[in-house]
Structure 1
Amino acid sequence: MVFLLGNLLHATGQRITKSDTLIEKKQQLQLYKHTSIISRDTIVFLLDTVGEKRHKNNSKNASKFYNSLKQGANKRKFTKELYNLFFISPDKLNPTDTIKTERSETAFVQYQGKTIRNITVRVLEPFGPTLYDTTQIATTWIETTGNKLHNTSRKNHLRKLLRINEGDAVDPYNLADNERLIRQLSYIKDAYFRVVPVYGSHKLVDLQLWVKDQFSWGANMKIGSLTSTDFEIYSRNLYGLGHEFSNSIEIDTEKDQKYGYTGKYKIRNIRKSFIDASFTYQNTYEKSVLQLDLDRSFATYNTKYAGGFTLSKTMRSDEIQKDDPIINEIPLDFNYGNVWFGRSYKVESGKLFARRKLYLAGRISSRKFYERPEVGATLNQFFHNNTHYLASLSLSQIQYYKSNLIYNFGRTEDIPYGSLAQITMGYEDREYSHRNYLGFDFQKAIYLRQSRTYFFNRLAIGGYFNSKRFEQGVLLGQSKFFSRIRNLGPLRLRNFADLKYTLGIRRFPEEFISLISDTGIRGFSKEDVIGTQKLVLNLETVAFTPYTLGGFRFAFYTFADMGFIGSNQKNILKEKFYYGLGFGIRLRNENLVFKTIQLRLAFYPKAPSDFNQFEYQISGEERPKFSNFSVTQPDVVPFE
């Protein structure tokens, strides 16, 4: 039936995808003995089940349970309201692994070269209608109130974000890139283009952008201990213009400065220049900072120019930047400035849908200290005043698949695969010396069709040449993986793995790396477990469920993190070994801009004697991001 409906819509010139089809005029579709009337502005969801085995018995059992529960709840108004608030039928969720079924350009290829006559935008409210069914309405008082409080994304704002104009020829690459960019906005749940042929013309088409908003206000709380709490309230879409504003308060009664504040404001796409501006003010026990950022990225395949500018004043901090490879107890006071510019050139590729480009970029950055540890020619070299001049030459080839249930809870995810080869050269003017920099970075992601698994691999090496001596070098190797979706009753299971090796080569004496959470073992906060070489393996299994609580979807996860760390003089497998085991719950409502709420319990059987073997945390986590082979400002290979 799905196949016949797809052929019929394709024959009428409609766009047919794995997930949805819009039909503007009423059409009567005769499918064998079944007739369906599809009304105007209705999206029909066609479930892609290619290569997936249905577990019919499990589906029937789950449907019976939910149907009986729903029938009982509908007998009273109060219980009906509770049911609508807390439960979603598995039939409406039915997530599948679609990574192999559709590349991002597929739906637009048949219209290539045709002229865009009109571009229209339609924005759906956060609660009620979906891109799969626009006839749904908000039913609970929470949903209706949320829609009233929400600032709907302004259509004109979304139009200005597009790199497409009326009168342009249809370019499948450009349409797919623009669709992806709108979908990745922090205040958009999902988005897609529909190309509509103009009646009576073989050369003209109309372009429709359908957008599903997220409720733009959010809050986040992180409880690390009984004496430490962080609270944040933010908006990702002020006035419906995409402006972002956040306010964060930190409380730690064990610190000298018990209260701290961080405020950020971001303006998107200033005067349709595609330049974003953000301003940050921070005054916490960790640091006091003022910072201004301007940024224009290589956002689409057709973007020729990119660049950025940063100016910051740090009045007090124990580190230069987050996860610095140093241990420092003296408050720092310094200024930092950075500017970069890049140009891209299209390169023909023999692969279908492959975006291949050559990039040239240059960067100048400078840091000047006013308060710092005592320095000398060979003393505390990490804190020397310096000016960096860097240039890079990069060749990138990117393609995209669409999928779901990877890092999110059902929304469309764009999975990049391809490669990036980059060489970076530069010169550093230091306070007591001058030296040259040379670095290589190669990244590649592949999709194995037979097993439906995804691998990302990276190998990078870089360092400085000071009077022909190689110093402050780093060798980095990484391999990341996620598996296909597997069914276990109503659950959908996916496995993740991340293996990373870092080797420091003739680093400065004050430089170290550690196993703290972001770059090692999650929840591990022992900062004096350090070295110049480490090997870390992070394993995780996530079980996506069909259950909801107040509109929040549930996912359970278990993890095992292991790490070796020590000097660079011995085999890494003979160095100190630590590991952590744990499990947790993640909750996310894709209609809200709230961060993923995470409850984690962890156990560290092998840990330093003065470290608590049990750890718990309630926090809000940002969505993980794919390594997408995008080219940004030239930089050195990180030592982390």
Structure 2
Amino acid sequence: MSRFKLTFSVILFLHMLLGICVNLFAQNENDTSKTSITKKALEKGMDLITRSNRDSVLVEKAEEKFLPYEGRVIRNITVENLGFEFSIYGTEKPIVQKVGRIANKLHTNTREKTIRQHLFIKPNQLLNPYKLGDNERYLRDQSFILESRIVVTPIEGTDSVDLAIVTRDIFSFGGSLGGTIPTSPLLKVYNANLDGRGQGFEFDILFDHDRTPKVGIGLAYTKSSFLGSFADFTAYYTQLNSGISAGEEKEFATGFSLERPLVSPYSKFAGGAGWSQNWSQNVDSRPDSVFLAYRYNIMDFWMGYNFGSNKALQDRKREFLALRAFDGYFINQPDQENVIDESRYNDSKGILAEFTVYEQDFFKTQYVYGFGRTEDIPSGYNISTTWGYTNTMGLKRPYGDLNINFKKASKSGSFYEFNLNGASYLRKGIEDAVLQTGGTYYTQAFTLGNYKIRNSASILYTQLYKRVTSDWLTIRSNLIPGLRVEEVDATQRIALGFESSLFTPWSLIGFRIAPFTSFYWAKLKCYTCEDRYQNFTGISLGMRIRNENLIFGTIEMKGTFLPTDDEGNSKFAFSFRKNLRFRKSDIFVTAPNLIVYN
């Protein structure tokens, strides 16, 4: 009997040992298989992100790579973040690689939790290729992310897929020195992705011996997709006239905002809220008789609902209904009689409702504003009508407008946009009516060896009717650099612009160079002027410089020759602009708004 028990115990022990070995082997095999899938997905994501070293320019629909997997079940979602040793330009020079290794030590990569707070795709959902394209673009739109790719891996023998979210950060530390050196330098220091949590902090400080007080500061904090809600939070305080600044004096301001965009046509809600207090500060020690002392608050709230968010996957047509209320009221108004009747120093409030019909897809391409990174170009239409009621300077009037926007991107890489806007206030008939139309066309990016060339042309026509309180038409630097024509009672404006940009392979420690040339022409029509038609032209040569790895924006140096300025003289204007932001791709809908034409 004891021998039987011993034999049974040995058999039981061997069986358990064999079972453990089998389980361990199976577990190792599963782990190896899972690791292999993740590794392959990461390698594919790396290849897609570093594709810019290839000769061809990317032209691809946002959903194109995901269509073969439509309707499959999403099993797992993994997140991978590439370091700075991986460049969108492929293999870099040794000095750039060394800088990348140093950046890796200083920079905190975006945390997995932060990336997941920006995902609106979840495990166990059916794969929607259009929604995946929207999410990939939404990640790319974040200021702290340079590139993002979603890699789909099918699971053999099942109807499931795994997703790998592969991203590449921007070096989030930045700074700049501006103002007027050496008399009044302005220093800015910021981090757009503090601790890898999608939160930004900026500190600005100005030293000016002619200012009272001599030192001025500005502080700002931002959080992207606050608590995973896709709403962006901002809070700020400034002594540097960098707030809304409705008046002509230098202003201090404090405020906050919470803005949730419509991240996808499959989302239901969008909206926002904001508050700010702004007040003029006599930092230049001007006489009390001249200085305009005022203080005002601005409150703004809007909310919209997206109809059709549960439509069939391929149907991207939607209707969006939004309501907005705003109130700008003066706590203290200026005492000077010559400005008390100006609309910007009086209360302004209103309520607006907007109904929008839209359908929009996106193409992925390169070399539009960026220097090789992936850029998302919208293609579709947006038709909206806004109706509301406003009260400005005690003038209570209904308001209405119609906006038509059409965008088209072709497989060749060219694209264009057309706009038609009409708006009017109503009070005993039409008042302050505006008609504005225009368009922009971009050619495809032509490849000449290692160089890329893209050209663009734009046209804008604006007409005012029955003006009462609205501003006259002007020409500013957005139409012709270095020119400012505002002292003309103009009711009609035509503007043309042409530009050709050359994206070169030249690089200095990661900074890429793109020379460009531009031609501008604009005409104003003024019935009360001695010269009814006033024509202006400008010819520019310039250069843009950018390092796509840095949070710091594009640097632009441009010289413009003006044969005739607003005083009838010829002149040469030079401009140096830094930290230019050509980042955000188009959004589906916006808050209801009054027409803007200057």
Question: What TM-score range do you get, normalising by the shorter chain?
Answer: 0.7 to 0.9
CA distance in 2, matches of 1:620, 1:281: 22
Q: CA deviation at 1:639?
A: 2.9
CA distance in 2, matches of 1:167, 1:39: 22
Match of 1:537 in 2: 496
Pick which of 398-407 and 232-241 moved more.
Answer: 232-241
Greater relative CO, 1 or 2 (CA 8 Å, sep 6+): 1
Describe the SS at the equivalent of 1:606. Answer: coil
8 A Cα contact 2:526 2:532, kept in partner:
no
Q: CA deviation at 1:420?
A: 0.4
Which residues in structure 2 correspond to 1:87-486 (within 5 Å)? 93-99=53-59, 102-125=60-83, 127-130=84-87, 140-201=97-158, 203-222=159-178, 230-250=186-206, 260-284=216-240, 286-316=250-280, 330=292, 332-346=294-308, 353=314, 355-369=316-330, 370-372=332-334, 379-381=341-343, 383-430=345-392, 432-448=394-410, 452-466=413-427, 468-486=428-446
8 A Cα contact 1:375 1:383, kept in partner:
no
TM-score (norm 2): 0.82
Describe the SS at the equivalent of 2:192. Answer: strand
Mark the runs of 5 or more structure 2 residues left unpaired by the alignment: 1-33, 242-249, 283-289
Pick which of 604-613 and 38-47 moved more.
Answer: 38-47
The CA RMSD over aligned residues, in Å, is 3.6
Larger Rg: 2
CA distance in 2, matches of 1:489, 1:360: 49
1:412 to 1:381, Cα distance in 2 relative to 1, 3 A: closer
* Matched pairs, number: 547
1:579 to 523, 537, 540: 537
Q: Deviations over 1:225-246 (max 9, x none)?
A: 9867654322111110111122
CA distance in 2, matches of 1:46, 1:306: 35
CA distance in 2, matches of 1:626, 1:232: 22
1:500 to 453, 457, 460: 460
Describe the SS at the equivalent of 1:177. Answer: helix
1:559 to 518, 525, 531: 518
Identity of counterpart residues, as a percentage? 27
CA distance in 1, matches of 2:156, 2:542: 54
Q: Deviations over 1:267-294 (max 9, x none)?
A: 1222222221101222126321112101
8 A Cα contact 1:474 1:638, kept in partner:
no
8 A Cα contact 1:454 1:482, kept in partner:
yes
1:142 to 1:294, Cα distance in 2 relative to 1, 3 A: same
CA distance in 2, matches of 1:603, 1:24: 61
Q: CA deviation at 1:539?
A: 1.6
CA distance in 2, matches of 1:521, 1:329: 31
8 A Cα contact 1:375 1:381, kept in partner:
no
1:262 to 1:575, Cα distance in 2 relative to 1, 3 A: farther
8 A Cα contact 1:365 1:388, kept in partner:
yes
CA distance in 2, matches of 1:231, 1:610: 38
Describe the SS at the equivalent of 1:456. Answer: strand
Q: CA deviation at 1:604?
A: 1.6
8 A Cα contact 2:85 2:100, kept in partner:
yes
Match of 1:13 in 2: none
Query: Which one-letter code corresponds to 1:243 in the other structure?
Result: Q
1:618 to 1:257, Cα distance in 2 relative to 1, 3 A: farther
Which residues in structure 2 correspond to 1:599-618 (within 5 Å)? 599-609=557-567, 613-618=571-576
CA distance in 2, matches of 1:274, 1:631: 15
Match of 2:554 in 1: 596
Q: CA deviation at 1:379?
A: 4.0
Q: CA deviation at 1:500?
A: 1.6
Q: CA deviation at 1:631?
A: 1.0
Q: CA deviation at 1:249?
A: 4.0
8 A Cα contact 2:185 2:208, kept in partner:
yes
1:368 to 1:606, Cα distance in 2 relative to 1, 3 A: same
CA distance in 1, matches of 2:335, 2:464: 23
Mark the runs of 5 or more structure 1 residues left unpaired by the alignment: 1-22, 27-37, 49-87, 319-327
8 A Cα contact 1:24 1:41, kept in partner:
no
Q: CA deviation at 1:447?
A: 3.2
Q: CA deviation at 1:146?
A: 1.2
Match of 2:286 in 1: none
Q: Deviations over 1:371-428 (max 9, x none)?
A: 247689x943454323201101000110111111111000111110110000100012
Describe the SS at the equivalent of 1:158. Answer: helix
CA distance in 2, matches of 1:502, 1:155: 48
TM-score (norm 1): 0.77
Describe the SS at the equivalent of 1:546. Answer: coil
1:507 to 1:373, Cα distance in 2 relative to 1, 3 A: farther
CA distance in 2, matches of 1:538, 1:255: 39
